[in-house]
Amino acid sequence: MSRKNVSWSVLLVLIGWATLVIPASAQHFEQVKGTLASVSAGRNEVFGFDTHAAVWRFNPKTNAFDKIKNALLDYIAVGGGTVSQLDEVWGTDPSLNVYRFNYTTKAFDQIPGASLLQITVGVGYEDQCHPYEVWGIAGGGQVFRYDYCSGKFNQSPGSLLRSIATGGSDVWGINSNSQVFHYSFAQEKFVQVPGTLTQIAVGVNDVWGASSSGQVVRYDPASGVFNEVTGNCAAIGAGGDGVWCIGGSDSIWFFYSSSEAFVQVPGALLSIAVGSGAGVFGVYDSGQVFTFVRP
Amino acid sequence: MKQQPGKSALVLLAAALGVACAQFGFAQTFKNVPANNDAGISQVSPGGSSVWALDSLGNSYLYFPTPSGDGKFVLQSSPAPFVQIAVGGGNSFLSQPDAIWALDASHNVYTITDSGFFQETGSLVQIAVGPGYQDNCHPYEVWGISPTSQVFRYDYCDQQFNQESGTLAQIAVGGAGVWGLTSSGEIFKLDFVTHVLNQVPGKLTQISVGPTEVWGIDKSHKVHQLNPLTQKFALMTGIILAQISAGGNGVWGLTASGDIDRFDPSLQEVFGVPGELETISVGTGAGIWGTSSNGQIWAFSTP
């Protein structure tokens, strides 16, 4: 790389930083100490893992992430908590082993016999054995739901998914053909919903998705279909802390319900995690972690 | 009477299963939360990171959770007896505390600072707090209604309430914007671009604003939800409530007799939750809280 190219690179980095560092009195994304590959936010917990699969937990006292000893995970899900109720934290490792965070030992306990590629966690309202909705997808696409009474994952028959999301005790998934499915607790199976999506996000009382072209859609429960919303997202997240999306050039967008439109927020992120009380966190290019703050 | 062997086995099995589940202690219920209160609690207000309560004498209480998830309300110093407390806009961490605003019976306005409650200039009969996304001077959206029904918005740069257009009898703030009702039930939504309150078709007696959705109750206690496509309120068939509260922790309501209902987004129906409450309030992270007729505080817990 020539000196001129290096100078331009430095300038571009500085310009990039300038877009992130806006006056302290504004609503903005502020960097948090730590370097992560992915982050997940719930109500009172934020966990992430780095490129070496080491697991980190956000420490609000130091405003930095602390490493969890002896934990190696490459998928983490956090959710279901309130101010009087702890979040559940689940994860999977590269060998598809499944772990649940133990607040007493501050370590992850392996769930014997469970093998999952992906996991999602949210609040559970259905019955006593599901105080949190914990769902996962196995390597072959089979879907499993965790039963807190038996301590085991039970397979949800007849459904093969490649991604799954839960929120407000509602469970949605997408299969390998991008077809969309909504879990019916009454029928105890996933029911197909019209449309194809590459990504789905379940908020408090709403369901959002993005198509392969990045077109944003929002589910209309009255008509049972997804309607297009003005916006183009490479990644979308929804939770109690709103609906957020990553648009072109890593731009950050917040869905402003008042105007029913996405509004750009200064900064740039590659991925975004929307909590339900813990706020909005994101990861940028070299693993820098940012959180949305107001003064 | 001699029991049939099969029936006995079933009873035994049911009892064993009951014990098994009871051992885990998992049940989605409202649990009583202690408060060292001087009088019965009349109001509880959850936000993103904190929960405040008022007793019938106007004393204020702040909830202190423990690491295990239990906690209690502790009496806070107040400059005057409060009649309303509004909490919101924060998240769980210190970088983003909730905004806390309160009113006394003389319509004086207070907000919390590092040294406790501080009286702000202004005279309001109702105050509402939510997250702010508009500009540097409004990190939280703090809106109020004056004794003469005028509408005010707090500016954090000028540190004062500025009058906005229109008059309202009720105001609600959330991620889905600023909404209000007139004394005759007409519905208005604030347009942040023009700063005009625009009327929306329909009439409601109560309105509640969640992160992305708006809910209301009409005079017949029928529940309506704003359709984001049409920007009109649609009747939620078969749902009858006397109170409704929408927040980041879902949509909850009470019937006229105090029965608790939770809205299930999957089925678009409400489902009863054990217990009876006099008031219910949904936070955005702080959970679902209520007060009972005997002045106790209750928090919903799934485990």
- DSSP 8-state assignment for residue B89: S
Cβ-Cβ contacts under 8 Å, A63 against chain B: 93-95
- Decide if A262 contacts A255 (C-beta within 8 A): yes
In a domain, A97, yes or no: yes
In the prediction, which pLDDT does B2 show? Answer: 35
In a domain, B125, yes or no: yes
- Decide if B154 contacts B160 (C-beta within 8 A): yes
* A127 vs B242: which has the higher pLDDT: B242
CB contact under 8 A, A149 and B265: no
In a domain, B265, yes or no: yes
In the prediction, which pLDDT does B22 show? Answer: 37
pLDDT of residue B109 exceeding 60:
yes
Could you give the CA distance from residue A93 to residue A90 in angstroms, rounded to a whole number?
A: 10
Q: Where are the beta strands (DSSP E) in A94-214?
A: 97-102, 107-115, 118-123, 132-137, 142-147, 152-160, 163-167, 170-174, 179-184, 189-196, 199-202, 207-210
Indicate if the alpha-carbon torsion angle B191, B125, B64, B277 is positive or negative.
negative
Residue among B31, B92, B95 whose CB faces A63 most closely: B95
* B92 vs B154: which has the higher pLDDT: B154
* A279 vs A36: which has the higher pLDDT: A36
In a domain, B22, yes or no: no
- Cα of first residue to Cα of last residue in chain A, in angstroms, is 41
Listed range (A109-118, A164-173, B30-39, B248-257) with the worst mean pLDDT:
B30-39
In a domain, B254, yes or no: yes
- Above pLDDT 90, what percent of chain B? 74
In a domain, B24, yes or no: no
Contacts of B243-246 with CB under 8 Å at 24 or more apart are: B243/B206, B243/B217, B243/B279, B243/B280, B244/B206, B244/B208, B244/B215, B244/B216, B244/B217, B245/B208, B245/B280, B245/B281, B245/B282, B245/B288, B246/A205, B246/B174, B246/B208, B246/B209, B246/B210, B246/B213, B246/B214, B246/B215, B246/B282
pLDDT of residue B172 exceeding 50:
yes
* A163 vs A276: which has the higher pLDDT: A163
In a domain, B10, yes or no: no
Q: Provide the number of structural domains found in chain A.
A: 1
Which residues 97-126 in chain B show a CB within 8 A of chain A? none
pLDDT of residue B96 exceeding 80:
no
- In this structure, chain A runs to a length of 295
Residue of A nearest to B286 (CA): A83
In a domain, A79, yes or no: yes
- Decide if B198 contacts B188 (C-beta within 8 A): yes
- In this structure, chain B runs to a length of 303
- Above pLDDT 70, what percent of chain A? 91
pLDDT of residue B103 exceeding 90:
yes
Cβ-Cβ contacts under 8 Å, A27 against chain B: 132-133, 136, 139
In a domain, A175, yes or no: yes
In the prediction, which pLDDT does A25 show? Answer: 41
CB contact under 8 A, B266 and A171: yes
Give the residue among A82, A101, A27 at the shortest CA–CA distance from A290.
Answer: A27
DSSP string, B110-121: EEEETTEEEEEE
Interface contact A255, partner B, CB < 8 A? yes
Using only C-alpha atoms, chain A has a radius of gyration, in whole angstroms, of 19
pLDDT of residue A109 exceeding 90:
yes
What are the pLDDT digits (tens) for A241-284? Answer: 899 999 999 999 999 888 889 999 999 999 999 998 888 999 99
Exposure class string for A233-262: b at 16+ Cβ within 10 A, else e: bbbbbbbbbbbbbbbeebbbbbbbbbebeb
- Decide if B220 contacts B230 (C-beta within 8 A): no
In a domain, A76, yes or no: yes
Could you give the CA distance from residue B197 to residue A142 in angstroms, rounded to a whole number?
A: 50
- Residue A213 belongs to domain with CATH number: 2.120.10.80
Q: Provide the number of structural domains found in chain B.
A: 1
Residue among B20, B94, B302 whose CB faces A123 most closely: B302
- DSSP 8-state assignment for residue A148: T
Distance from CA of A168 to the nearest CA of B (A): 7
Q: Identify the band that residue A27 occupies on the pLDDT scale cut at 50, 70 and 90.
A: confident
ipTM of the complex: 0.82
Give the residue among A204, A221, A126, A217 at the shortest CA–CA distance from A166.
Answer: A204
Which residues 56-75 in chain B show a CB within 8 A of chain A? 63, 65, 67, 69-71
CB contact under 8 A, B302 and A80: yes
Tokens of B264: 């299930």
Which residues 23-62 in chain A show a CB within 8 A of chain B? 23, 25-27, 30, 43-44, 58, 60-61
In the prediction, which pLDDT does A20 show? Answer: 29
Residue of B nearest to A253 (CA): B133
What is the side-by-side strand order in the sheet with B243-247? B243-247, B250-254, B259-264, B269-276
In the prediction, which pLDDT does B23 show? Answer: 36
Q: Which domain holds residue A57?
A: 35-240
In the prediction, which pLDDT does B16 show? Answer: 42
Helix (H) or strand (E) holding B213: none
Q: Identify the band that residue B209 occupies on the pLDDT scale cut at 50, 70 and 90.
A: very high
pLDDT of residue B132 exceeding 50:
yes
Q: Mean of the pLDDT values across residues B206-210? A: 97
pLDDT of residue B15 exceeding 70:
no
In the prediction, which pLDDT does B94 show? Answer: 57
pLDDT of residue A3 exceeding 50:
no
Using only C-alpha atoms, chain B has a radius of gyration, in whole angstroms, of 21
Mean pLDDT of chain A: 89
Other beta carbons less than 10 A from residue A69's beta carbon = 11
Residue of A nearest to B212 (CA): A257
pLDDT of residue A85 exceeding 90:
no
In the prediction, which pLDDT does B95 show? Answer: 65
Could you give the CA distance from residue A247 to residue B272 in angstroms, rounded to a whole number?
A: 40
In the prediction, which pLDDT does B124 show? Answer: 98
pLDDT of residue A238 exceeding 50:
yes
Q: Which domain holds residue B159?
A: 35-301
Residue among B137, B231, B299 whose CB faces A84 most closely: B299
What is the four-CA torsion angle of B174, B180, B181, B187, rounded to 10 degrees?
-90
pLDDT of residue B10 exceeding 60:
no
In a domain, A75, yes or no: yes
Interface contact B23, partner A, CB < 8 A? no
B170-174 and A152-160 strand pairing: unpaired
Q: Identify the band that residue A26 occupies on the pLDDT scale cut at 50, 70 and 90.
A: low
Listed range (A47-56, A251-260, B246-255) with the worst mean pLDDT:
A251-260
In a domain, A290, yes or no: no
Helix, coil or strand: residue A15:
helix
CB pairs < 8 Å spanning A and B = 227
Q: Is B114 exposed, middle or buried (0-12, 13-18, 19+ CB in 10 A)?
A: exposed
- Which of A204-208, B71-75, B241-245: highest mean pLDDT? B241-245
Residue among B63, B136, B248 whose CB faces A277 most closely: B248
- Residue B74 belongs to domain with CATH number: 2.130.10.30
pLDDT of residue A10 exceeding 80:
no
Could you give the CA distance from residue A189 to residue A194 in angstroms, rounded to a whole number?
A: 16
In the prediction, which pLDDT does A258 show? Answer: 80
In a domain, B156, yes or no: yes
Could you give the CA distance from residue A276 to residue A52 in angstroms, rounded to a whole number?
A: 27
CB contact under 8 A, B248 and A168: no
Helix (H) or strand (E) holding A264: strand A261-268
Q: What is the pTM of this model?
A: 0.86
In a domain, B27, yes or no: no
Residue among A23, A131, A254 whose CB faces B303 most closely: A131
